[in-house]
Structure 1
Amino acid sequence: MLHAGQYEQVYAFEATGTAESNGSEYELYQDKVPPRPSVRKVRFEGNDTYPAMVLQEIIATEAPGFFRKLLFWKKEGFEYAENELRRDVIRIRNFYNRRGFLDARVQYDVYTGRKPHFRNVIFLITENEPIRIDSIHIRFRADDETVESITSDRSYNRALRQNPLREGNRYELIRFPDVENLFLDTFRNLGYAFPKISMQGEVDSLARSAVLNIELDPGPKSYFDTFEVEGAETVSEDYILRESDLRPGDMFTQRKLINARREVFGHHLFRFATVGLPEQPRDSTVHVLIRVREFPLRSIELRGGLGSEEIVRGLVSWTHRNPFATAHRFSVTLRGSFIEQRANMEYLFPYVINTYGSFSVSPFAQRLNETSFLLQKGGVNNSYIYQYRQNLVGTIGYEYSQNKLITRNTDAALPDSTQFFNVSSLQLSGFYSQSFIDQGQGWAIRPNAEISGFFGTGTLQFEKLSLDVRRFINFSRRTQLALRIDSGILFAREIDQLPANILLYTGGSNSVRGYGRNQVGPKRAVFNSAGDFETYLPVGGSSRITFNTELRQELGFLMRGFGMVVFLDGGQVWSDYDDTRLHDLKFGAGAGLRYRSPIGPIRLDFGYKLNPDDEDLQIYDGVEYGGRLARWGIHFSIGQAF
């Protein structure tokens, strides 16, 4: 075992011992430079409060993980450095000190590993008893009326409950900024634009206790008074002020400033926006500075991608962000793949009723070529979008379309059937994400409802409901569990009379992997002109359930942006929702690779059907037509979905 301060003696002992026990190895080192010492393992002992995963993030000494050890030919990295170990001791001690463990002691031992140049490091931690808060004294610098108004407010009492430095808790210096920001935000949302706070602690190290003194100075209650706008080029300052929803005479709150910044920045015309308070006197009037930077008025967007289902997909879009100098938006978009081609125009009114609402009119034409039908569709979609918060959006829309549906006949010798119908439907949808920034964090919920033929309008009368719920759980910075369940149900008087494109489907790259596109659920056999079996085609249904479970692991040590996943998917479609049974679910399992490339994400999944039936394996009348790979599905995609 090696101890701090004994490294010269240990290395001399290793050289002597190697020469005596293995002369050939000693001679080899005579001719070659011996490998530099490298860290092979890092362990912590005595860390009762914080797990090793937390402590590993604050030190510089690092050991290779399981996957990195497999790359035995990569010799660089993970060098052993005595000076860095000493700094790590200071880092760990400071980490504990700032969290209430003022008497924490940290040492380290170093062991020789399986090879002479391998080093195993153990950090020995003695936490000792932490300092705990015995009492808290809060003092206001304000008149009695102001103090009464603040202390009786619900938000102030909520801040007291959320204060991490309460009586009985550890005296953590690292929590001071959190407490300061907690009270500052509370005061600012109560109308005090210029609050001040000071905190001091009196520590009795013998009694292991501390007294926390907090002085709160809310300052004068403030109101919005004057506004200044910088950077506006093609719109007026009044328009930007209207978009910010800030008005002179309104009581100041920080929440209003945040909402104003979000609304201005969320406008399609601005690439950059800030809303804040410049230096100014600490009084009852507030001067607000809004800075913006505009996008170019016109732009062209080109996007493309490849996939195992769509083969090739592309998008071309032209946008004008301020037609007629109204700050509206007009765009023309063409998108296409081997499955779907669509052209649409959109005119967006960004301010309807209030700054949260917008309205769009979008005429469109669509051609959808699925294996069992061909749809040709044209119409117009009108939508009112209400974005209450960045992570909470609701939409109500109305679509009218004329449709031509060609359904492939079971017998190729017979002509395909053709239907003409129109759809007049009311569409309701919502979106909620627990994270404001990254939709791949926390919860995400997407409900949808479609009501067609209301008040006798349209050819078809049906109601369609669906709910998509997702949950993302982070085990570490590089490991995430993604869960999803997507369900749908269709109501109509005669389900079997509805066109194929209205029905529900599942299966494929984005639902149940291992199966082809829409290949989970009821199917019908198709025969060629000679009467021989050709394939099975999906027929859809009125009830659908799909779930996905995916464990994601980043492998950045191999390549930046590279990762792998293992997954278990399941789902089913039922012809009648009364027949919905969970034991009918079809399952697919497998693994895949992910890479965030400069041209977009690359995804490759290998799925295996766990419980297929004869139709899934292309078996008809006891004869196998699918081959030995019928149980497997390969899903490949390059580029963003759009």
Structure 2
Amino acid sequence: MVNASLEVRPGDRSLLAGIEIAGLSEGLDPQGFTPKIKIGKKLTEAAVDDIREEIEGMMRVAGYWEAKVVTLERTGPAGASVLKAKVEEGPLYRLILEAPEGLEEIAFEAIPDVRDEDLNPAQTDALAETIVERLQERGYPVATVSAELLSDEADAAVLNLRVVPGPMLRVTEISFPGADRLALKNLSKVISVKKGTGKAGKPLTANLLDLDRKALENLYRRNGFQDVTIGQAQVIETDEGGLRVDFPIDEGLPWSVHAFRVEGVPTEALGQTDDDLFQLGLTEPWDPRDLIRLIERWERVMADVGYPEARVTSDVETPEAGRVAVVLSVQPGPFVRLGRVMIAGLTKTRASVVERALGVAGLEEGSPYSLTTINRAQQELYRLGLFRRVAIVPVPGQERRVDRGVVVQLEEGLQRSYLVGLGWGTEEKFRLTLGWSHLNLFGGAHALSLETRYSSREFRYQIGLREPLLPWIEQPGYSAVYRTEETFTDWEQLRWGVWFEIGDRLQVPFRYWFRYEFQVVEPDAPDEILSELERENQQIKLSSITVPFEWDYRNDMLNPTSGFLITLAPEYAFPLFSAETEFFKIRAGVSHYIETAKGRFNWGIRLGATRVANLDPNEPANLQIPLASRFFAGGSNSHRAFRTDRLGIPGETLGEDGTAIGGNALVLVNGEFVTPIWGALNGVVFVDGGNVWIEPSDISFSQFRWGIGAGLRFETLAGPFRLEYGRKLEPAEGESLGELHFSFGMAF
């Protein structure tokens, strides 16, 4: 056994007593370049670096643009240290700026600040280009700058800048001289320069033109023009007071694929490869990048079917001008099987839990050695929610064997978690959420959770159980028992029940799951808005199956800025376990998030319809559905010009006094534009429309209620805080003009 000890002696703190500067030419006063630093300041490494930068900055402002602090030493006792700076001042520079009258300030602002940037006057061409680029960014697209380095009688270097900003013009024409074989509209689509590009809001810069030149070149190469040359863009003033941008193009000869074949694929691998791997696109435009991607795909596929050392080479011939013949040669190498799978790092989790997840991924002894399968196994283990780190590595020393074992290295995470949430909104007022969960009950990856939520609209507590992989079906499973007291605008109700779910709700982009729920609902509402069963029994029992489908292409589930989400959720309620109600209900929606140069445009459509089994024609269809299963609208997440649940048709889905009755049909349309204001603070303008009807056949566009509004949003990683006011476009008599909402999360 070895015992080791470590003794730390920090010593005295180093405090600043003064700064001395040496190395200056005769006649230069060191005090003029000495930073004003508080005596007694702690001399940390960061503080010393700041002093160095400040000395250099002060000298550069004085005209010594190449000045540097060579050394910076501490002298004297630690409690009163003096910093001695030795400098190399370099030559003295003088700037002469020539610019049109009235534009001197604009030209001067475009010159780099010597305190923040290295300014080398000897590189006059680069300096002129930098100033031109900055003038272009300020809206002067045809600016010109000449830089010349001279000497004056006092032996100072003189940098003479002649700046001509030119007029502030916009692009009025775009042409592609030499373009004959590709449609002009396709060329225009790939470039950023458009008609109207110019002034400061959308500047026309040399960098932008170069990016467009590369985009055009890429487009041509994708279409088989491998010898294309795109010249530097020319910006020309027109007689009409605008700008014409010319992209000169020498297209060259178009090339296409004449023949293609693959050689050397093992027989046992042929049945596990896709047909498109044997097709490069005969008669299609020839692009060598397609061949590179195809070779990479072949090597990945071969590695996935047990040939991790496979290599693929290509031979490209040109039998005649404009045509290529391609041969891919596959050198498979040895077939490799997965050897022994060893598990390491478990302390609380049973090995059978890990083995089962590995089996779902296909990582089993004797299977083909596949990197894709290994990656899939890592994902399955992370999905359990038990491990902080997962690594699957080869067993050392088996790199050349045909049976190669792996070690599954695991680091377990926390087994318990706690949840505390506080919030406030105009609908729920104060909101409190408390939760506790054990993620690995009995070491079997069973997750037990307890949760309660309290607000002015809801008091709910729930006990839940999650199984990461259910037997036989290998899908996550969830179940919960709950009780909730809900307060609506015009009534209260008690709900309690149990639900079960099977499926992965986090799968992207496509996911679906099955949900069965049995609930008992006891509404305390006026008899005239209850269904017949609710009036008779003072409660209703519901047994239903729902199968939601979602296509999720958003870039973020909580706070999306681009992409779209499509949802479809059919539900069937049927008599079972003393439940007597039977109906079919469907909900659907589309939400689309689009990024633009000015901000984000979001739009969404939500639809809902319910069909009653054994419909009684003598009673309104919505009163034949339990109150808890009807559609309601109005509020911060549906129609922002109305209070919660107050959107509807008076006398049908709203009582004459405004009481929310609900309906069997719903249509909501939302559109909004979000634009940045400062940092995470955004502004939003929106329009909402829609209504709630008794049944789907009653839906009429003429009965849509519309509202417009504006608000502020503060973006966070978990979603935005929203303060929004929606105003009704045609308020009915007795209605408010609009509503103010404060809430959290996306509106739709």
| TM score, norm. by length of structure 2 | 0.64
CA distance in 1, matches of 2:640, 2:373: 46
CA contact (8 A) 1:136 1:214 kept: no
Q: In structure 2, what is the equivalent of residue 472 of structure 1?
A: 592
Aligned pair partner of 1:356 in 461, 474, 490: 474
- State the Cα distance separating 1:322 from its structure 2 match: 1.3
Greater CA drift, 186-195 or 440-449:
186-195
Aligned pair partner of 1:489 in 596, 605, 610: 610
Give runs of aligned pairs for residues 348-387 of structure 1, distance below 5 A.
348-354=466-472, 356-385=474-503
CA gap of 1:586–1:177, structure 2 versus 1, over 3 A, is farther
Residue 537 (1) aligns with residue 652 (2): no
Letter in 2 for 1:637: S
- State the Cα distance separating 1:277 from its structure 2 match: 6.5
Q: In structure 1, what is the equivalent of residue 256 of structure 2?
A: 133
Q: In structure 2, what is the equivalent of residue 346 of structure 1?
A: 464
Q: Per-residue displacement from partner, 1:226-267 (whole Å, max 9, x unpaired)? A: 324455442244421211223223345666445433322221
Residue 572 (1) aligns with residue 687 (2): no
Q: In structure 1, what is the equivalent of residue 42 of structure 2?
A: none
CA contact (8 A) 1:422 1:458 kept: no
Letter in 2 for 1:212: V
Q: In structure 1, what is the equivalent of residue 735 of structure 2?
A: 626
Unpaired segments ≥5 residues, structure 1: 1-13, 19-24, 58-62, 70-77, 114-118, 527-532, 620-624
Q: In structure 2, what is the equivalent of residue 10 of structure 1?
A: none
Aligned pair partner of 2:230 in 105, 116, 127: 105
Q: In structure 2, what is the equivalent of residue 458 of structure 1?
A: 578
Q: In structure 2, what is the equivalent of residue 171 of structure 1?
A: 286
Q: In structure 1, what is the equivalent of residue 30 of structure 2?
A: none
CA gap of 1:513–1:203, structure 2 versus 1, over 3 A, is farther
- State the Cα distance separating 1:468 from its structure 2 match: 1.9
Q: Per-residue displacement from partner, 1:40-61 (whole Å, max 9, x unpaired)? A: 369764284865664449xxxx
CA gap of 1:53–1:560, structure 2 versus 1, over 3 A, is farther
- State the Cα distance separating 1:328 from its structure 2 match: 0.9
CA contact (8 A) 1:203 1:211 kept: yes
- State the Cα distance separating 1:346 from its structure 2 match: 1.0
CA distance in 2, matches of 1:525, 1:544: 12
Q: In structure 2, what is the equivalent of residue 636 of structure 1?
A: 742
CA gap of 1:92–1:365, structure 2 versus 1, over 3 A, is closer
CA distance in 2, matches of 1:271, 1:51: 49
CA contact (8 A) 1:194 1:282 kept: no
SS at match of 2:247: strand
SS at match of 1:458: coil
- State the Cα distance separating 1:536 from its structure 2 match: 0.9
CA distance in 2, matches of 1:575, 1:30: 68
**Which structure is richer in relative contact order (CA contacts within 8 A, separation 6 or more)?**
1
SS at match of 2:547: strand
Q: In structure 2, what is the equivalent of residue 587 of structure 1?
A: 706
Letter in 1 for 2:461: A
Q: Which has the higher strand share?
A: 1
Give runs of aligned pairs for residues 188-587 of structure 1, distance below 5 A.
188=303, 190=305, 192-202=307-317, 207-245=321-359, 246-251=363-368, 256-273=373-390, 281=399, 284-354=402-472, 356-385=474-503, 389-408=507-526, 420-435=538-553, 438=556, 441-454=563-576, 457-470=577-590, 472=592, 474=594, 479-493=600-614, 495=621, 496=623, 498-523=625-650, 535-541=657-663, 543-550=664-671, 552=673, 555=675, 558-561=677-680, 563=682, 567-587=686-706
Q: Per-residue displacement from partner, 1:126-177 (whole Å, max 9, x unpaired)? A: 151354233344342345x45xx62xx484313345x4xx233333344344
CA contact (8 A) 2:213 2:247 kept: no
Letter in 1 for 2:310: P
CA gap of 1:636–1:227, structure 2 versus 1, over 3 A, is same
CA distance in 1, matches of 2:342, 2:519: 47
CA distance in 2, matches of 1:31, 1:568: 41
CA contact (8 A) 1:231 1:293 kept: yes
Q: Per-residue displacement from partner, 1:285-337 (whole Å, max 9, x unpaired)? A: 45445454433111212334443322333322212111222221111112233
CA gap of 1:588–1:50, structure 2 versus 1, over 3 A, is same
Q: Once superposed, what is the RMSD of the aligned Cα atoms? A: 4.6
CA distance in 2, matches of 1:565, 1:174: 43
CA distance in 1, matches of 2:199, 2:342: 54
Aligned identity (percent) is 17
Letter in 1 for 2:321: A
CA distance in 1, matches of 2:683, 2:290: 37
SS at match of 2:233: strand
| TM score, norm. by length of structure 1 | 0.73
CA contact (8 A) 1:130 1:208 kept: yes
- State the Cα distance separating 1:375 from its structure 2 match: 0.8
CA distance in 2, matches of 1:420, 1:291: 58
Unpaired segments ≥5 residues, structure 2: 1-96, 111-130, 142-169
- State the Cα distance separating 1:347 from its structure 2 match: 1.9
